[in-house]
């Protein structure tokens, strides 16, 4: 059963449209009433003056209310807390009908004016809540029954009039209920439509967002070669040097797109396109080319009488890079597993070699062999440690570190391990801009990065004091840690592979040092770069620059790591930009 809120659930725009339609029907009814009065006069039946006047008033009011809706409440919009028509709209339409039709019925009881009450009953049922609509139907029914009762009292054939009034009243209630039920169903359908429309809009927005953010290019093309829509990735892949503007475009307007256009035409003609796609080469001229992996999907049903083709475009360079990364990741996991299994045999070999060296202490040849075994065992251990360092494992936890004392300590420990001379004869110089520079890193990993860079720099540096220099200074949002080595410039063909795993220019090198540095830096949001720098008059050096991130909260607790202290034999020198 419909409730009083049912009609209120219809949107204001729907109520206004129905109201305008009923006002047009009232205008037609008013003109028909005037025409009936005129026709009756021409046929010799002279209506009373009051009947003619009331008919004229009703016809004029109905036509004016339809032609001039603003003057008669047509612009009123129902509020959200009230159902149905506004008060002015009700009085201009339903109220006026009930009053004028009642006057017509009273002035001419024998006339056929009772049927006119169906207009306000129908309008009330469609535009008013159910209780109000039934009240609008009850009022003319009571008028008709009252007039029939008056006729019975005056002995004017009242029985017939009472039956007619009863049937007419029942008809008014039936029409009102049917109109109200239709309006209730309209309200439910409209609510469902609004919900479906909102869901469709959300889905459309979600699909648009997903497609816009996809790294893969997506374009919709018809059989004439018109690209109806394309996401930014597709526009970037199809353009060279400049991005395509939004909107539709044709593939036959650019020579570079002709291979793609021919492939689409053949696919529409029935040529089987592989599920995994094919590679197409777009030639933009002047030696600029781009290889694309193209996959095609077709709409199952025609849209606007035309089939559509959905293109999925990927740059083959990105595909190859992704495949390389996946292979490297897989190789890293396998290597980590193998390295883990190698540790135990290496430990056993080292222990057996130590026992054997004790037995062969007096044999020079045997002692030489045991030293060779020990050296190679240590080399294998370092290789295993390098592999395990970059293997997938527990997520890194960055700490807030004071960089200056750590750099001093790590450099001092490294110099002691390498047995470097102290003082001015040392090939290592440490230059700290100031203490108090905070970075977000893990101390042991920071040590590993710095030691690897120092080992690499010393290996290629020219002999002499100050051949290796470490700098720590501020660099905007970063803290820059640089390792300079006075050495020959790195060739371009070597520079391209500096940070790749297992690439080394030495026969006994593992090729993992710089790769480990890069992997550890990426874990903590740092960056490592290579530059060829001018470090003074007639002096150039290879610089490996590490940009360390600052902590998000400068007040965070510092990691408790002891510094080298005053025993460090590397004097800090004031840093000047060269």
> pLDDT digit string (tens) for 304-321?
556 788 999 988 888 877
**Mean pLDDT of all residues in 433-461:** 89
Find out whether 532 and 540 touch, Cβ atoms under 8 Å.
yes
Pairwise CA distance, residues 173 & 142, whole Å? 12
Q: Which residue has the higher pLDDT, 303 or 163?
A: 163
Pairwise CA distance, residues 274 & 295, whole Å? 8
Burial class of 268 by CB neighbour count within 10 A (0 to 12, 13 to 18, 19+):
middle
Report pLDDT for 158.
Answer: 57
pLDDT single digits (tens) 318-377: 887 777 777 667 766 776 677 667 777 888 888 887 888 877 777 777 777 887 888 777
Specify the pairing of strand 527-536 against strand 539-549.
Answer: antiparallel
One DSSP character per residue, 108-165 reads: -TTSSGGGGGHHHHHHHHHHS-HHHHHHHHHHHHHHHHHHHHHHHHTTSSHHHHHHHH
pLDDT single digits (tens) 522-540: 888 899 998 887 766 556 7
Find out whether 226 and 44 touch, Cβ atoms under 8 Å.
no
**Cα 400 to Cα 249, 406, 420, 451, 519, distances in angstroms:** 53, 12, 31, 20, 19
Report pLDDT for 506.
Answer: 60
pLDDT(52) > 90:
no
Q: Is 532 helix (H, G, I), strand (E, B) or coil?
A: strand
Strand (E) or helix (H) holding 51: helix 49-67
Instruction: Tell me the whole-structure pTM to 2 decimals.
Output: 0.41
Q: Which of 212, 206, 221, 204 is nearest to 295 (CA)?
A: 221
Find out whether 197 and 166 touch, Cβ atoms under 8 Å.
no
Instruction: Cite the DSSP H helix spans in 503-569.
Output: 513-523
Strand (E) or helix (H) holding 529: strand 527-536
Report pLDDT for 308.
Answer: 86
Of 156-160, 401-405, 408-412, 431-435, the range with the lowest mean pLDDT is: 156-160
Report the percent of the chain where pLDDT is more than 70. 80
pLDDT(42) > 80:
no
Pairwise CA distance, residues 567 & 248, whole Å? 72
Pairwise CA distance, residues 578 & 412, whole Å? 26
Find out whether 65 and 93 touch, Cβ atoms under 8 Å.
yes
pLDDT(455) > 80:
yes
pLDDT confidence tier of residue 403, bands split at 50, 70 and 90? very high
DSSP 424: G
Pairwise CA distance, residues 515 & 498, whole Å? 8
Give the contacts of 113 (CB within 8 A, at least 6 positions apart): 101, 104, 105
Q: Which residue has the higher pLDDT, 257 or 568?
A: 257
């Amino acid at each position: 059963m419909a409730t009083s809120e049912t009609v209120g659930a219809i949107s204001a725009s729907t109520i206004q449209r129905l109201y305008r339609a009923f006002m047009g029907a009232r205008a037609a009814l008013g003109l028909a009433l005037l025409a009936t009065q005129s026709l009756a006069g021409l046929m010799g039946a002279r209506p009373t003056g009051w009947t003619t006047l009331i008919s004229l008033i009703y016809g004029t009011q109905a036509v004016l209310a339809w032609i001039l809706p603003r003057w008669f409440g047509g612009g009123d919009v129902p509020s959200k807390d009230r159902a149905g028509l506004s008060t002015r709209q009700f009085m201009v339409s339903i109220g006026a009908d009930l009053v004028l039709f009642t006057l017509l019925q009273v002035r001419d009881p024998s006339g056929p004016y009772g049927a006119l009450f169906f207009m306000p009953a129908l309008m009330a049922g469609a535009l008013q809540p159910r209780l109000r609509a039934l009240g609008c139907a009850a009022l003319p029914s009571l008028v008709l029954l009252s007039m029939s009762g008056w006729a019975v009292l005056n002995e004017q054939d009242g029985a017939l009039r009472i039956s007619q009034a009863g049937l007419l009243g029942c008809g008014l209630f039936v029409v009102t209920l049917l109109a109200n039920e239709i309006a209730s169903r309209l309200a439910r359908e409209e609510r469902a439509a609004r919900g479906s429309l909102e869901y469709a809009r959300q889905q459309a927005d979600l699909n648009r967002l997903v497609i816009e953010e996809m790294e893969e290019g997506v374009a919709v093309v018809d059989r004439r070669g018109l690209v109806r829509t394309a996401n930014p990735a597709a526009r970037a892949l199809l353009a060279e040097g400049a991005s395509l503007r939004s909107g539709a475009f044709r593939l036959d307007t650019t020579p570079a797109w002709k291979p793609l256009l021919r492939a689409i035409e053949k696919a529409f003609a029935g040529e089987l396109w592989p599920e995994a796609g094919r590679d197409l080469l777009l030639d933009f001229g002047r030696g600029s080319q781009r290889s694309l992996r193209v996959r095609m999907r077709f709409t199952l049903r025609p849209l606007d009488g035309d089939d559509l083709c959905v293109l999925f475009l990927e740059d083959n360079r990105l595909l190859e890079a992704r495949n390389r990364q996946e292979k490297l990741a897989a190789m890293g996991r396998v290597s980590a597993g193998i390295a883990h299994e190698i540790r135990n045999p290496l430990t056993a070999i080292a222990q057996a070699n130590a026992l054997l060296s004790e037995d062969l202490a007096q044999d020079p040849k045997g002692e030489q062999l045991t030293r060779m075994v020990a050296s190679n065992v240590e080399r294998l251990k370092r290789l295993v440690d390098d592999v395990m360092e970059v293997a997938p494992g527990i997520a890194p936890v960055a700490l807030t570190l004071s960089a200056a004392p750590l750099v001093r300590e790590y450099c001092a420990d490294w110099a002691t391990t390498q047995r470097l001379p102290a003082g001015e004869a040392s090939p290592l110089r440490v230059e700290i801009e100031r203490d108090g520079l905070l970075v977000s890193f893990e101390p042991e990993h920071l040590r590993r990065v710095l030691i690897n860079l120092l080992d690499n720099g010393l290996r290629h540096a020219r002999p002499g004091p100050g051949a290796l220099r470490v700098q720590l200074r501020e660099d905007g949002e970063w803290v820059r840690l640089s390792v300079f080595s006075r050495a020959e410039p790195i060739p371009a063909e070597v520079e391209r592979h500096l940070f790749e795993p297992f690439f080394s220019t030495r026969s006994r090198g593992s090729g993992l040092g710089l790769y480990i540095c890069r992997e550890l830096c990426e874990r903590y949001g740092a960056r490592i770069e290579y530059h060829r720098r001018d470090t003074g008059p007639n002096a150039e050096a290879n610089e490996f620059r590490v940009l360390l991130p600052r902590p998000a909260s400068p007040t965070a607790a510092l990691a408790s790591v002891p510094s080298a202290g005053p025993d460090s034999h590397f004097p800090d020198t004031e840093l000047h930009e060269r």
